Amino acid sequence: MKFAKPVLAASFGLLAIVAANAHADALADIQKSGVLKIAVPQDFAPFGSVNSDLQLQGLDIDVAKLIAQKMGVKVQLVPVASANRIAYLQTHKADLVISTLGKNAEREKVIDFSQAYAPYNKQRVRRGQRQGRQRRRPGRQNRGRGPRHLPGHPTD
């Protein structure tokens, strides 16, 4: 058992070095090519959508352009839908994804997450009580119309 701990520690250390080198290689490849391929939403306004001129627009698109500018490379925006954004990373069609993507254990197994630039929580929303209106009796307040999640929430 005493032998297993140092071997495990060395193994994890080696994995960390390999992972760090993989990230460094990816960054070096981006700098060398001069192009950063960023997957952005095309169907989730105001974060990302297509305008009347068929150009991508939205908060995520602005953030993508800012990152490329700060890195000193050109940006190649890769439009994606919610269902295929992780697949684009795994198949190297994109270097990174900027999208409303909820962080969970399953996704953490296959991709790395950065710090959220627009954190928000999944919240329940219901109609508020109007002034001067009498409150309904308990048990009949919502009549089967309980609090709902907002449709299209990224963690759905």
Q: How far apart are CA 48 and CA 88, in angstroms?
A: 17
Domains and CATH numbers, the chain: 31-120 (3.40.190.10)
Q: 67, 36 in Cβ contact below 8 A?
A: yes
CA dist 42 → 26, 58, 121, 141 (Å): 25, 9, 22, 39
CA dist 147 → 48, 123, 124, 125, 128 (Å): 27, 9, 6, 6, 11
Q: How far apart are CA 36 and CA 64, in angstroms?
A: 9
Give pTM, 2 decimals. Answer: 0.61
pLDDT in tens, the chain (156 residues): 454 444 333 333 333 333 333 455 888 889 999 999 999 999 888 889 999 999 999 999 999 999 999 999 999 999 999 889 999 999 999 999 998 888 888 988 988 888 877 766 555 556 666 555 555 555 555 555 555 555 555 554
Q: How far apart are CA 49 and CA 97, in angstroms?
A: 15
| 107, containing H or E segment | helix 105-108
